[in-house]
A and B are shown apart, each in its own frame.
Chain A
């Protein structure tokens, strides 16, 4: 197990370095710089001084190593669009709305999805099964900005029940959380349904039935436990995906979260912020997949890697 984790850590580190290299050089190949004459009418001398201060006059590879050295010390530099604070401060501020909305979305959507999937699997070909399949297909295929748009149109514009956008009062959270929750709901409804149907068809369930166990005990003690593996392993990557904020949900609902800052950092060529965001999200995905693999090995003794046990 330990060697498995170590091997995976090495591969995570390698992946991370390659991704950081690609992103760094790609980002610097975007035509134009942060102090172009159109965007910032300053004299040549001032521009040169600014460039020198920020290290932008150095060759690219020097900039890269300097940057990565800072990253190791959690120093991501100063965002160009908000020079009064560090990138770390800006990110910890901007992450709050994303984490609250996206996190709540997953925490509400995932259990609902599991319940729906269970109900669908236990009542095959009933109305609830069709409802679950329809919801799952809709949730997984329709882009999130489309669902956001529909939510705003129905609940804010036509019914006028809820505010359409913004951040602050909890009633403004309801629509974005709903938009976020639909994705885990759909994912989990689908996974739970197929995992439970798989398990229900296995011979040991027939044996349990023959032994006279109540259907309730069979489902909750045996089937659910045996279907849990895929559900547990998809959770972390999904949580990361949602809790780092969707560019679209935040754009639609005008939420000042990570996604909104990602868009503005690309528009203003804010290298430090953009780089930090990409690296942070990539890093979190790497860790999420690593943890998922470990959890997978822990809860599924059959697939423990490396033998030993």
Chain B
């Protein structure tokens, strides 16, 4: 991958000339991974469901339209039943996907935005800069993220955007380490030295050569940060310091579900299953991407 201009898009058809792009090989490896393909399809369906939620279910998620039928079991009208406050549970699960997925993607985006520059700096300059950044990362490794996130959640009183920031605060470490390793490996390559010899500034080299060459670890870091953020959101919401009600989130619904579990199983089962499926699909998809983009890491 010596030309930095390759777009991270897998070509749909193999080209006629013999030289294949690394992305073509990655796509070949990825398409052989059945679990990852299936996870990708599930993830795509979930994303579409989240985007087109108002079309899938006409009822608004916060409306208590079915108070007389509160706690009703699943039926043909209400696929997942009614919750304790008279809201259609299917609607709430579908809208919960919006919260979960949007927080996952936004937090992963922020993680990448923090992780890339820090990782590039640490990998490129080494020495003192690297030392400082690595010590910061060490701090993050000894503090259990969930406990710290809980504390932060209590300090800030939760909320949608706060959760995204908290998740990003703990998500950037992985991206940073991946980018750092890649930049370190490429720093001494001939084309980088050639760029230096031609008078390119460090910033130019990082932006034009080193970061484009780190695109695979960045994609992997991005995708793998999504399930972590979703899990953090669900965990905090589960504890009541995440996204506040009445916004439907799966963690909150699971927490309510425990109280009704013995008599109204549907209130516990559906949000649990929704969260498990989403996290699982995202992780499998991310693992598949990682194996495809960096075969040396397979199985780790």
Asked if A pairs with B, the answer is yes
Q: Which residues of chain A have a CB within 8 Å of any CB of chain B?
A: 11, 15, 18-19, 23, 26-27, 29-31, 137-138, 140-143, 145-146, 149-150, 152-153, 157, 164, 193-194, 197, 241, 247-248, 251-252, 262-263, 266, 274, 277-278, 281-282, 285-286, 289
Q: How many Å lie between the Cα of A286 and that of B241 in the bound state?
A: 28
Does more than half of chain B's interface fall in helix, strand or loop, or is it mixed?
Answer: helix
Known: A149-B254, A266-B150. 11 other contacts (CB 8 A): A15-B139, A19-B142, A137-B287, A145-B254, A146-B254, A153-B268, A157-B261, A247-B150, A247-B239, A262-B150, A282-B142
Interface residues of B in 114-157 (CB under 8 A from A): 135, 138-139, 141-144, 146-148, 150-152, 154-155, 157
The verdict on A289 contacting B141 (CB below 8 Å), with A141-B279, A263-B239 known, is yes
Contacts of B258 in A (CB 8 A): 149, 252
Partner of A285 from the list B142, B155, B284 (CB cut-off 8 Å) is: B142
| Residue contact B280 to A143, C-beta cutoff 8 Å | no
Shortest Cβ-Cβ A-B pairs, 10 listed: A141-B283, A285-B142, A194-B299, A266-B154, A149-B272, A30-B155, A146-B276, A142-B276, A143-B231, A146-B272
The verdict on A157 contacting B262 (CB below 8 Å), with A27-B151, A30-B154, A241-B144 known, is yes
Contacts of B189 in A (CB 8 A): none
- Report the minimum CB–CB distance from B249 to chain A (whole Å): 13
| Residue contact A143 to B155, C-beta cutoff 8 Å | no
Does more than half of chain A's interface fall in helix, strand or loop, or is it mixed?
Answer: helix
- Tell me, yes or no, whether B24 is within 8 Å of chain A by CB: no
Contacts of A157 in B (CB 8 A): 261-262, 265
Name the residue among A145, A153, A241, A285 with the largest chain B CB count within 10 angstroms: A145
Contacts of A30 in B (CB 8 A): 154-155
Q: How many Å lie between the Cα of A274 and that of B148 in the bound state?
A: 11
- Report the minimum CB–CB distance from A276 to chain B (whole Å): 12
| Residue contact B154 to A149, C-beta cutoff 8 Å | no
Of all chain A residues, which has the CB nearest B230? Answer: A143
Contacts of A146 in B (CB 8 A): 254, 272, 275-276
| Residue contact A278 to B142, C-beta cutoff 8 Å | no
